[in-house]
């Protein structure tokens, strides 16, 4: 019945997907992120759900979606409203599709998953199955930036939750994710002293020079064999080539395999950035570990078995994998909730101009999500 219901609404699913993709919603574009949230809030409200808006002053608002008759929801579905693309991207390459694939900014990561979650619930309502009263949905606005502003919300709303279903998209093989490396984000600000580099260089203290020392030391913390990586990915500083730089900044991304590595890595980064190499420069380090590693355990193994059983009922044999990137699954797994990630539709090339969605995977993954809600509501 679900398959028939959803096949009849495939055009509606693609219409909603087109509407969402054609809204620019990069993490730092609040107006666009909120517009995506408003579209989805209205759609869920039309199904009888309550939508609580967790308002943010500088970032997009987060949404908490629960049915008014829900009693102690035990299933948490998490998705995100933001993408990585700048304002103007949707206009320059709007939503399009052919017989096999759909294209556009965020079509795969993760606007198709947002459509999937809405129609999965709609199919349960249509079938008269009240398991939708056992779920809570969080749609946050900053997942692509590490969920820095939504992590406390996710932790708070996870109280009493037994299962976390993360609707990040799946790869072309359809594999689920049961393990992710942890990560962190730091910002290093260096202050020096400006001077004319030709007339009075001795009066200057180069913030860029100091930052260069720190970059080498930070990159030296990388240990590929242990799964530890430190990357200074963005640097800025200075004013002109003949002025000794008074200011310099660096954005630092870190990845690790274990909680112990996270503690040690943060300690080492703070130590490196605590003392200046060039006398007369000062350093300020901000940030920290944002996501603990998501480690496969007995709870997630049990949930994986359930997902695999439900997928097999639909004719799909699913396997799982561990990946280097992070998601909100790191957050729920870290507080002991059984978590499965990558439940969204298949596709690829996320965060690039070549991003695509496999259209034929949209309805099967919607059915799988609905069936999981039914199954887990009885656990």
- Both tokens of 45, joined, read 């409200």
- Is 168 one of the catalytic residues? no
Catalytic pick among 18, 24, 143, 257 = 143
Bridge-partner residues for 291, per DSSP? 183
Beta-carbon count within 10 A of 253 CB? 17
Q: Give the CA distances from residue 271 to residues 142, 233, 265, 266, in Å, rounded to whole numbers and listed in that order.
A: 29, 20, 10, 9
Select which of 61, 82, 210, 310 is catalytic: 82
Spell out the domain ranges in the chain.
2-180+293-376, 182-291
Look at residue 364 and tell me whether its pLDDT is greater than 90: yes
pLDDT reported for residue 342: 98
Query: CATH number of the domain at 182-291, out of 3.40.50.2300, 3.30.390.30, 3.30.70.360, 3.30.70.250?
Result: 3.30.70.360
DSSP H helices in 220-313: 259-272, 298-313
User: For residue 178, which of 196, 191, 189, 165 has the smallest C-alpha distance?
Assistant: 165
- Whether residue 224 has pLDDT greater than 90: yes
pLDDT tens readout for residues 18-53: 999 999 999 999 999 999 999 999 999 999 999 999
pLDDT(3) > 90? no
**Which of 164, 155, 156 lies closest to 300, judged by CA?**
164
* Residue 109 falls in the annotated catalytic set: no
Q: How confident is the model at residue 1 (pLDDT cuts 50, 70, 90)?
A: low
Question: 325-349, pLDDT tens digit by residue?
Answer: 999 999 999 999 999 999 999 999 9
Confidence of residue 293 (pLDDT cuts 50, 70, 90): very high
pLDDT of residue 2: 75
Is it the case that residue 358 has pLDDT exceeding 90?
yes
Other beta carbons within 10 Å of 111: 32
What average pLDDT score do residues 304-308 get?
Answer: 98
Residue 323: burial class (beta carbons within 10 Å; 0-12, 13-18, 19+): middle
pLDDT above 70: residue 246? yes
Distance CA 32, CA 60 (A): 8
**Topology (CATH level 3) of domain 2-180+293-376:** Aminopeptidase (3.40.630)
φ, ψ dihedrals at 253, nearest 5°: -115, 135
pLDDT (0 to 100) of residue 319: 97
- The answer to whether the bond into 283 is cis (omega within 30° of 0) is no
Section 243-265 average pLDDT: 97
Mean pLDDT over residues 161-173, rounded?
Answer: 98
Using the predicted structure, report yes or no on whether residue 71 has a pLDDT greater than 90: no
Q: Judging by DSSP bridges, how do beta strands 229-237 and 247-256 pair with one another?
A: antiparallel
Q: Is residue 266 over pLDDT 70?
A: yes
Tokens of 133: 């009263």
């Amino acid at each position: 019945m679900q398959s028939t219901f959803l096949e009849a609404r495939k055009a509606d699913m693609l219409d909603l997907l087109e509407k969402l993709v054609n809204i620019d919603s990069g993490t730092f574009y609040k107006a666009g992120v909120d517009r995506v949230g408003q579209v989805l809030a209205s759609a869920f409200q039309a199904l009888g759900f309550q939508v609580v808006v967790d308002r943010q002053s500088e970032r997009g608002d987060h949404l908490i979606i629960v049915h008014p008759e829900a009693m102690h929801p035990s299933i948490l579905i998490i998705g995100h409203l933001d993408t990585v693309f700048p304002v103007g991207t949707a206009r320059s390459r709007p939503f399009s599709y052919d017989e096999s694939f759909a294209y556009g900014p965020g079509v795969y990561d993760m606007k198709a998953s947002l459509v999937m979650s809405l129609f999965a619930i709609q199919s349960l309502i249509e079938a008269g199955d009240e398991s939708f009263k056992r779920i809570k949905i969080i749609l946050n606005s900053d997942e692509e930036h590490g969920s820095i502003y939504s992590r406390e919300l996710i932790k708070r709303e996870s109280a009493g939750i037994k299962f976390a279903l993360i609707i990040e998209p799946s790869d072309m093989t359809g594999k689920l994710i049961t393990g992710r490396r942890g990560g962190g984000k730091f910002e290093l600000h260096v202050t020096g002293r400006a001077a004319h580099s030709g007339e009075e260089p001795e009066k200057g203290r180069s913030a860029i020079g100091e930052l260069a020392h720190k970059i080498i030391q930070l990159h030296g913390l990388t240990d590929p064999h242990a799964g530890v990586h430190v990357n200074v990915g963005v640097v800025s500083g200075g004013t002109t080539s003949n002025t000794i730089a008074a200011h310099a900044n660096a954005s630092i991304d870190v990845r690790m395999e274990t909680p112990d590595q996270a503690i040690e890595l943060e300690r080492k980064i703070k130590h490196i950035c605590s003392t200046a190499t060039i006398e007369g420069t000062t350093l300020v380090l901000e940030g920290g570990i944002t996501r603990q590693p998501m480690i496969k355990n007995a709870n997630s193994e049990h949930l994986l078995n359930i997902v695999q059983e439900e997928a097999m009922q639909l004719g799909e044999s699913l396997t799982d994998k561990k990946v280097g990137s992070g998601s909100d699954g790191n957050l729920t797994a870290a507080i002991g909730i059984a978590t499965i990630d990558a439940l969204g539709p298949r596709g690829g090339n996320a965060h690039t101009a070549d991003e695509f969605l496999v259209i034929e995977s949209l309805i099967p993954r919607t059915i799988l999500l609905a069936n999981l809600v039914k199954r887990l509501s009885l656990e």
